[in-house]
Chain A
Amino acid sequence: EDKVVQSPLSLVVHEGDTVTLNCSYEVTNFRSLLWYKQEKKAPTFLFMLTSSGIEKKSGRLSSILDKKELFSILNITATQTGDSAVYLCAVGKSNTGKLIFGQGTTLQVKP
């Protein structure tokens, strides 16, 4: 059975800290891994990763995929209170538009 597991499930840090969120997967016919950020509304797209070892970066956020070890990490440096959200990891399978989601990591950044 296809599975996506995120850790930790929740995290509390202070502004300025660096955090690393983890996503491991066991999915047949892997196509891509996606990260979303969800505040109190619709999830918004952050990154899509298809190749191992190539870092994707957007401001203070970066992500990398390891297809051999079947995991991805999302790093956030110099965290701000606006980074407080649920971060969702999802895996897409080949030849289908379906995504398989992990449980999400709830990040709280305190001032």
Chain B
Amino acid sequence: DVKVTQSSRYLVKRTGEKVFLECVQDMDHENMFWYRQDPGLGLRLIYFSYDVKMKEKGDIPEGYSVSREKKERFSLILESASTNQTSMYLCASSPTVSEQYFGPGTRLTVT
């Protein structure tokens, strides 16, 4: 079974803090994705990566950056957290142009 893990299930941070969300997949997938999920808005793509050290902006990249130094790990960074970044963050991976496998999510609250 494909396993995608995320470093935290719940996280509470203060406004202005730098926040790191980590995602690890164990199936040697090429593609990795970061989404945020908000009520009524569905999943919105923040950033994705097709290969190590490669990244592309999704639909809502403002306020976020990413890092992919190893194939199995894709990190999402909030340089200076703001209250409007309070959300559920979901990481996913996929082998090719195929279905994506999701991690359990991190519920981030910024106060």
Contacts and interface: CB of A to CB of B under 8 A. Distances in A.
B45 A98 contact: yes
A45 B101 contact: yes
Interface residues of B, number: 26
A94 B97 CA distance: 8
A111 interface: no
B34 interface: no
User: What band does the interface of chain A fall in when counting residues whose beta carbon is under 8 Å from B?
Assistant: 20 to 34
Given A31-B97, A92-B97, A104-B42, A97 B50 contact: yes
A16 B111 CA distance: 44
B42 A99 contact: no
Given A88-B43, A102-B42, A97 B96 contact: yes
Interface in A84-104: 88, 90, 92, 94-99, 101-104
Given A31-B97, A43-B90, A101 B48 contact: no
Interface of B: 4, 30-31, 33, 35, 40-45, 48, 50, 58, 90, 94, 96-105
Interface of A: 4, 9, 31, 34, 36, 41-45, 48, 88, 90, 92, 94-99, 101-104
